[in-house]
């Protein structure tokens, strides 16, 4: 359930939030409450990073899945970006993330998932290191109209050995099969590729579930 | 926009404010508009992206913890070897200044705000015209 009034307590983590630090959350009702305060019992914080090219839908995905009002750092795009932030294919885009998006999902009484969305443009890539630090894994969101924009994210995750899944954000593109997308991305067969609609909570959630399953399979199948 | 005039004004700010090293005007979406001569182009690009991110986060802080008036007066970071100051400058632009550790924060802030007033509309960065169905 989306909330517009909730406040996000303590663990504001721009600087290297680790998955190990327990959020010192405000006491509150159980998850699922309209305001979704962090339960006092929360002790395990997990972090997922959402990356991908400019305009792939990262901010939208974080907004869709977050139970709290997400921290968003979208700024209106200015004319200074003409020729740099190219919106071919995403002409309706008028705002862009300049720091990161931050959302939260309470999984159960003890586990909380933090979702960080990265900015897509090259000038903000220096921020990615911090966003990746302590992350369980990453989601690479791709838009088939601008597939090449996701190469950097995939290369970087492969190089640093961060587990990830690729999610094809379906902007009504029905002509490309997932196999075609996989081939175009030259994606390792071991990396899961799913289709999603980042605007739809249930769909965005499936992407996170795919990632968690993938991470679990990497750490030895049955591990909890 | 007269970039030469803006650059000249930035150099003037550095000259009359002890301890200042670099000055940069950036668009809110993190692109440099003009900067003082001593700042290399690559560093200017980097500083523009950093300052846009800081200002955006500072804005979120004001929304969450401010009195509701909105807006950010100034963001500041103090690190080993220097300080970073950022103020809003016109519509859609910010002014960032890097100083040495010896700079006097009150004076830097005062002079930056004075400069913003001088620059006035030179500093505004128009929003992009919608090219599609926006």
| Cβ <8 Å between B30 and A98 | yes
Q: Which of B46, B48, B53, B126 to mutate to test the interface with A (most CBs of A within 10 A)?
A: B53
Mean pLDDT rounded to a whole number for chain A: 82
Range of the domain at A125: 44-220
How far apart are the C-alpha atoms of A16 and A141, rounded to whole Å?
22
Q: Which structure tokens are listed for B73?
A: 């007066």
The verdict on a CB contact (< 8 Å) between A78 and B31 is yes
Q: Inform me whether the C-beta atom of residue A43 falls under 8 Å from chain B C-beta atoms.
A: no
At residue B125, the pLDDT reads 66
State ipTM.
0.73
Q: How far apart are CA A134 and CA A120, in angstroms?
A: 20
Residues A159-177 pLDDT 10s: 999 999 999 999 776 788 9
State how far the Cα of A50 lies from the Cα of A140, in Å rounded to an integer: 6
For chain B, say whether A78 makes contact (Cβ under 8 Å): yes
Q: Is residue A7 part of a domain?
A: no
Per-residue pLDDT for A26 more than 50? no
Kindly state whether residue A21 falls inside one of the protein's structural domains.
Answer: no
Flag if A96 and B29 touch (Cβ within 8 Å). Answer: yes
pLDDT at site B107: 97
- If DSSP codes are grouped into helix, strand and coil, which group holds residue A163? coil
> CA–CA separation, A204 vs A183, rounded Å?
23
A92: pLDDT strictly greater than 70: yes
User: Is residue A111 pLDDT above 90, yes or no?
Assistant: no
- In this structure, is the dihedral angle defined by the CA atoms of residues A170, A173, A174 and A178, taken in order, positive or negative? negative
Q: Within a domain: residue A26?
A: no
User: Which CATH number fits the domain that encloses residue A83?
Assistant: 3.40.50.300
- Cβ contact, residue pair A78, B127, below 8 Å: yes
Is 80 exceeded by the pLDDT of residue B123?
A: no
Closest alpha carbon within chain A to B93: A78
Closest Cα of chain A to B15: distance in Å?
A: 27
The pLDDT value recorded for residue B60 is 87
| Nearest CB to B56 within list A73, A81, A121 | A73
Interface of A with B in 80-109 (CB under 8 A): 80-82, 84-85, 87, 91-94, 96, 98-100
Quote the percentage of chain A above a pLDDT of 90: 51
Helix/strand/coil for A196:
strand
Does residue A204 lie within any of the structural domains?
Answer: yes
Please answer yes or no on whether A82 and B29 come within 8 Å at the CB atom: no
Alpha-carbon distance of A156 to A160, in angstroms, equals: 6
Tell me whether residue A37 is in a domain: no
Residue A200 falls within a domain, yes or no? yes
Q: For A58-96, b where at least 16 C-beta lie within 10 A, e where not — what string?
A: bbbbbbbbbbbbbbbbbbebbbbbeeebebeebeebbbb
pLDDT in tens, A146-162: 999 999 999 999 999 99
In a domain? residue A18: no
Please check whether residue A10 lies inside any domain of the structure.
no
Structural tokens at position A86: 């190219």
Q: Per the structure, how many domains does chain A have?
A: 1
**d(Cα B44, Cα B76) in Å, to the nearest integer?**
17
Provide the pairing of β-strand B20-27 with A193-196.
unpaired
pLDDT of B122 over the 70 cut: no
pTM of the model: 0.77
Q: Inform me whether the pLDDT recorded for B111 exceeds 70.
A: yes
């Amino acid at each position: 359930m989306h909330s517009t009034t909730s406040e996000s307590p303590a663990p504001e983590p721009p600087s290297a939030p680790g998955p190990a630090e327990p959020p010192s959350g405000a006491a509150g009702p159980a998850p699922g409450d309209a305001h979704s305060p962090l339960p006092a019992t929360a002790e395990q914080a997990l972090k997922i990073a959402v990356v991908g090219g400019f305009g792939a839908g990262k901010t939208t995905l974080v907004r869709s899945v977050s139970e709290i009002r997400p921290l968003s750092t979208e700024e209106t795009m200015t004319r200074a970006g003409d020729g740099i932030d190219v919106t071919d294919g995403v002409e309706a885009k008028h705002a862009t993330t300049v720091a990161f998006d931050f959302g939260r999902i309470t999984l159960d009484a003890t586990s909380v998932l933090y979702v960080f969305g990265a900015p897509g443009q090259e000038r903000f890539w220096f921020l990615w290191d911090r966003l990746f630090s302590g992350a369980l894994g990453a989601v690479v969101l791709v838009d088939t109209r601008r597939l090449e924009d996701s190469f950097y994210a995939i290369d970087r995750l492969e190089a640093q050995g961060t587990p990830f899944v690729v999610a094809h954000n379906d902007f009504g593109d029905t002509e490309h099969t997932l196999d075609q997308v996989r081939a175009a991305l030259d994606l390792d067969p071991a990396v899961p590729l799913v289709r999603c609609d980042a605007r739809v909570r249930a769909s965005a959630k499936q992407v996170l579930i795919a990632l968690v399953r993938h991470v679990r399979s990497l750490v030895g199948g049955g591990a909890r | 926009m007269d970039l030469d005039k803006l650059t000249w004004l930035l150099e003037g700010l550095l000259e009359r404010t002890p301890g200042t090293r670099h000055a940069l005007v950036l668009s809110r979406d993190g692109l440099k508009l003009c900067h003082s001569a001593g700042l290399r182009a690559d560093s200017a690009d980097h500083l523009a992206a950093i300052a846009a991110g800081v200002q955006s986060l500072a804005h979120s802080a004001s929304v969450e913890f401010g009195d509701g008036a909105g807006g950010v007066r100034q963001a500041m970071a103090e690190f080993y070897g220097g300080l970073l100051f950022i103020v809003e400058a016109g519509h859609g632009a910010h002014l960032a200044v890097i100083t040495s550790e010896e700079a006097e924060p009150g004076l830097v802030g005062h002079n930056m705000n004075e400069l913003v007033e001088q620059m006035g509309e030179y500093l505004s960065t128009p929003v992009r015209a919608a090219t599609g169905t926006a």
